[in-house]
Amino acid sequence: MNSQPFNDVHIHVEDDRTGTTVETLKRALADNLYYIQGKDENFATLYDYYMALAYTVRDRLVHRRIKTAQTYFNRDVKVVYYLSAEFLIGRLLINNLINLGLYDQINQALKESGLNLDDLLEREEEPGLGNGGLGRLAACFMDSLATLEIPAVGYGIRYEFGIFDQEIRDGWQVEHPDNWLRRGNPWEIARPDYMVEVKFGGHTESYTDAEGRYRSRWVSRVTVYGTPYDTPVPGYGCNTVNTLRLWAARASEDFDFQVFNAGDYTQAVSAKTFAENISKVLYPKDDTPQGKELRLQQQYFFVSCSLQDIIRLYLRQHDTFDAFPDKVAIQLNDTHPAIGVAELMRLLIDEYGLEWDKAWDITRRTFAYTNHTLLAEALERWPVGLFGRLLPRHLEIIYSINHSFLTEIQSRYPGDAGKLTRMSLIEEGEEKQIRMAHLACVGSHTVNGVAALHTELIQKELMRDFYELWPHKFQNKTNGITPRRWLLMSNPPLSDLITEKIGDGWLKNLDELRKLEAFVDDAAFRARWRQIKLDRKKLLAEYLLRHNGLDVDVNSMFDVQIKRIHEYKRQILNALHVITLYNRIKANPSLDIVPRTIIFGGKAAPGYFMAKMAIKLINSVADVVNNDPDVAGRIKVAFLANYSVSLGQFAYPAADLSEQISTAGKEASGTGNMKFALNGALTIGTLDGANVEIREEVGAENFFLFGLTAQEVMDLKARGYKPMEYYNSNPELKRVIDQLASGFFSPKEPSLFMCIVDDLLNYDQYMLMADYQSYVDCQEQVSQAFRHQDNWTRMSILNVARMGKFSSDRTIAQYCREIWKVEPVHIELEHYSQERAGLKVQKVVSEVV
């Protein structure tokens, strides 16, 4: 690296401060290094240069953000508020450069300054503010909302610690805290002036107000403050910059002083701890809530902050709440923010004096709810006792909502006690529980599933009674992914080839990928396509050598399963297949087998025993297979540690085969399946989630299907599933299970995997045993297909060409039309210099806090 970057900047008056010429950008980089980082070229580290670059990009975002906010305000537009406990946004620098159209100029400006963009991109900490698919979906949606020029705000929590960092030690997962903010975050802007108060605990008191109406007053015990931090979200190829507003919890100084002066120092400190713990750490459990009090505190905290903020914004332009549902659409991303239904009721009634019926009408016309899971254990329920201690007023409101709702059910279905029990917001039992999915459904105008099969199962199984009562409420919105991050950014060579052939219209209209079908018979095109895949496999191979010490064959099939580790996702079924291949080679060492590199990756929730055992199993199988001379490198197994958005962007494009092998009826949609296919991997999968629709789009002949259907899974369960029968009747499967039981893969601790064996033979809730043979047979078809590289490449091209449906732009356009009823708002931009020669203060906005 040149030791003297920025040294040829022309010093002249440059008033186009957010301009995008190379000269202006070089000047800005030098200024930001000097004035913000407080360094010059003699002292700056790479991180300083990264920060200087990030601030340079942020200035351009801020300029567009202010213009966007002004336009929304002036036109009093309807705004989408997307409430999500997780936003797994990935690194921002590259995204912002590309969406702003600054990439080439910045690249040049850095080069002329003696810096390398790739080095700086690597300095950025990834904000891991989510567990997996649900949080990543929220991030793709934010990108698509901005790209489609839709007025939108994302609301969530600014966790101080995101999803843990994963290390693999001795084959086991070890977790490390993710202190992502330790070096500062250049992308966010704190807004202490929009701080809000959130109350917890205490009790309620009833009273009669001046007009003689019965009312309830919440006398809370603790007040916590929420400070918003705004991250700009630019659309691709437009001037729109929306906001992701994340809340950080703080104790109030005042509050501490009050208690402190009263002489109770320890209570003052513990109140401070209570407050500041709230946004401390992301819960690392995916798809299985733990019912922990802190989790409910987090949910209520960010929902209350967000609703107060939404109301503040609305009341800037309105005197009554009559138009609220016409200006505000609130989407609940799963039930994590479902407490919002009760909180909006509380705010409207207790704080703004509305009548119950009016408030209820507004609430139901404002909220919509997205269901994300069919797993019974993943449906959020809160014990009434815990809930009432923390949110006594909300418990009252939920009881009132439930009372009216059950009265309606009773008159609709007289004498049907089963209906009342099944549909109540309160689950009876030893400990009464609040069913958050029911609250979300009753309080929303629309409920949606995230893939066609998922929505069908919601209607037929999960929420059958609700669907029967309100069929018009239920919709499907099949998930999607943003093609900017998941193709343009993650796979530049493939993007370039596509653009060379069909133009760049696909970036805003992914259906245009269809035009690639015209090139499928072009041998030169296929050769380039294949070369790009090979280059990406080489990069991943280098990574595996560096990080795993594993030397893999880049011509082998890269067979990849990266996603959270969960029993329903069946990583263990994949491992059983690996063992089967291994046994076949051992039985016949000269077997002509298609070489494979089987790559796993994913985090297990720290308290999820079986998921952690799956990681250990994979690594134990890898130890045996990778080191057996009989295998002679024909199959190799690798576990990619610390799977993240960045690692995904690196790995999806290197895959030949995408493993989407969940038990049918369990994966709501999946989005990893889409990322693989968009990067030219072929899928082996069950008829589950969006796999069904991917197969419909790409054609059955370009998809490797196996396994029971969701209906067959239910039927088999109903008949009485006996996994042992598969063991007894299938010698190859029996051998694999016996090896696990005998300690073949864990010689130092022979009984290590007995827990897996015991589960598979006696329970096997996710039916690995039932699907084993179908999976192994299908994998053999995959291997045979891979022998014909030219035809494989054709299938790969056709997969990409037919992925248009799975753009999150399509998903968001459907939400806008069919649920939110919002329209795009075009943002015009003038240059900063023309607008801001100097301050022209007209009125000073009063401070909110």
Cα–Cα distance, 789 to 592 (Å, whole number): 16
Distance of CA 776 to the CA centre of its chain: 31
Q: How far is the CB of 705 from ligand PLP (least distance, A)?
A: 17
Residues 776 and 483: their CA atoms lie apart, in Å, by 32
Burial of 520 (0-12, 13-18, 19+ CB in 10 A): middle
Interacting span for ligand PLP (CB under 6 A) from 128-136, 235-243, 272-280, 691-699: 128-136
From the candidates 63, 372, 473, 616, give the one annotated as an active-site residue: 372
**Which two tokens mark 431?**
């400990």
* Residues 621-650 within binding reach of ligand PLP (CB under 6 A): 644-645, 648
Contact between 563 and ligand PLP per CB under 6 A: yes
Nearer to ligand PLP, 560 or 622 (CB): 560
Angle at 252 between CA 248 and CA 257, to 5 degrees: 155
List 156, 337, 670, 804, residue binding ligand PLP (CB under 6 A): 670
Element (H, E) at 228: strand 222-234
Retrieve residue 325's tokens. Answer: 């549902």
* Closest-CA residue to 49 (of 92, 105, 110): 110
Task: Return the residue nearest ligand PLP (CB atom).
Answer: 672
| Interacting positions 648-667 with ligand PLP (CB under 6 A) | 648
What is the nearest approach in angstroms of ligand PLP to the Cβ of residue 824? 27
**Least Cβ distance, residue 479 to ligand PLP (angstroms):** 9
Distance from C-alpha of 295 to C-alpha of 391, rounded to nearest angstrom: 13
- 136 part of the active site: no
- In this complex, which beta carbon is closest to ligand PLP, that of residue 281 or of residue 645? 645
For the bound state, the minimum distance from the C-beta of residue 181 to ligand PLP, rounded and expressed in Å, comes to 19
Number of residues this chain uses to bind ligand PLP (CB under 6 A): 13
Assign 283 to helix, strand or coil.
coil
DSSP-derived secondary structure letter, 681: -
Q: Which of 158, 666, 675, 695 is catalytic?
A: 675
CA-based angle 699:704:707, to the nearest 5? 120
Give me the least distance between CB of 178 and ligand PLP, in Å please.
13
Select the residue interacting with ligand PLP from 127, 133, 228, 804 (CB under 6 A). Answer: 133
Contact status, residue 370 vs residue 448, Cβ threshold 8 Å: yes
**Active-site residue among 563, 566, 596, 636?**
563
- Counts for the chain of helices (H) and strands (E), in that order: 34, 23
Is 323 buried (19+), middle (13-18) or exposed (0-12) by CB count in 10 A? middle
Handedness of CA 198, 201, 202, 205 (dihedral sign): positive
Query: Which one of the listed residues 60, 67, 564, 636 is annotated catalytic?
Result: 564
Question: Which of 671, 779, 799, 808 lies at the binding interface for ligand PLP (CB under 6 A)?
Answer: 671
Residue 327 falls in the annotated catalytic set: no
Nearer to ligand PLP, 228 or 602 (CB): 602
Residue from 228, 672, 680, 804 touching ligand PLP (CB under 6 A): that is 672
Q: Is 162 in the site for ligand PLP (CB under 6 A)?
A: no
For ligand PLP, what does the binding mask look like between residues 195 and 234, x meaning CB under 6 A?
Answer: ----------------------------------------
Phi, psi of 634 (to 5 degrees): -75, -30
486 versus 506: smaller Cβ distance to ligand PLP? 486
Q: Return the number of the residue (105 or 561) whose C-beta is nearest ligand PLP.
A: 561
Token pair in block for residue 787: 């022998």
Q: What's the rounded Cα separation, in Å, for the pair 108 and 268?
A: 54
Instruction: Find the radius of gyration of the CA atoms of the chain.
Output: 28
Q: Are 68 and 240 in contact (CB under 8 A)?
A: yes
Q: How near is the Cβ of 112 to ligand PLP at its closest, in Å? A: 34
State the binding string over 88-107 for ligand PLP (x if CB under 6 A, else -): x-------------------
Q: Which is nearer to ligand PLP, 344 or 645 (CB)?
A: 645
Nearer to ligand PLP, 441 or 481 (CB): 481
Residue 136 in contact with ligand PLP, rule: CB under 6 A? yes
Parallel, antiparallel, or unpaired: how do β-strands 203-208 and 214-219 relate? Answer: antiparallel
Question: Any residues with CB less than 8 A from the CB of 427 and at least 6 apart, and which?
Answer: 381, 433, 434, 435
Residue 132 found at the interface with ligand PLP (CB under 6 A): yes
AA identity, residue 129: L
Look up 569 and say whether it is catalytic: yes
How many angstroms separate the CA atoms of 68 and 73, rounded?
9
Q: Report the alpha-carbon distance of residue 647 to residue 672 in Å, rounded.
A: 13
Candidate segments 392-400, 540-548, 671-679, 736-744, binder of ligand PLP by CB under 6 A? 671-679
Nearer to ligand PLP, 33 or 88 (CB): 88
Taking the least distance from each CB to ligand PLP, the nearer of 61 and 233 is: 233
- Exactly one of 363, 455, 671, 686 is catalytic; name it: 671
**Least Cβ distance, residue 788 to ligand PLP (angstroms):** 27
Q: What are phi and psi of 424, to 5 degrees?
A: -50, 145
Helix (H, G, I), strand (E, B) or coil at 242: strand
Binding mask 35-74 toward ligand PLP (x if CB under 6 A, else -) reads ----------------------------------------
Three-class secondary structure of residue 508 per DSSP: coil
Is 372 part of the annotated catalytic residue set? yes
26 φ, ψ (degrees, to nearest 5): -65, -40
In the complex, the smallest distance separating the C-beta of residue 54 from ligand PLP, rounded to whole angstroms, is: 22
Nearest approach, Cβ of 821 to ligand PLP (angstroms)?
A: 29
Binders of ligand PLP among residues 458 to 477 (CB under 6 A) are: none
CA triple 291-292-295, angle to 5 deg: 100
Instruction: Select 146 or 645, whichever has its Cβ closest to ligand PLP.
Output: 645
The backbone torsions φ and ψ at residue 633, rounded to the nearest 5 degrees and listed phi first, read 75, 5
Nearer to ligand PLP by Cβ, of 72 and 82: the residue is 82
The distance of closest approach from Cβ of residue 674 to ligand PLP in the complex, given in angstroms and rounded to an integer, is 8
Q: What residues pair up with 600 in beta bridges, in sequence order?
A: 561, 639
Interatomic CA distance for residues 799 and 514, integer angstroms: 10
Q: Does 490 bind ligand PLP (CB under 6 A)?
A: no
Tokens of 480: 């999607």
Instruction: Find the shortest distance in angstroms from Cβ 122 to ligand PLP.
Output: 18
Q: Mind telling me the catalytic residues?
A: 372, 563-564, 569, 671, 675
Residues that bind ligand PLP (CB under 6 A): 88, 132-133, 136, 563-564, 644-645, 648, 670-672, 675
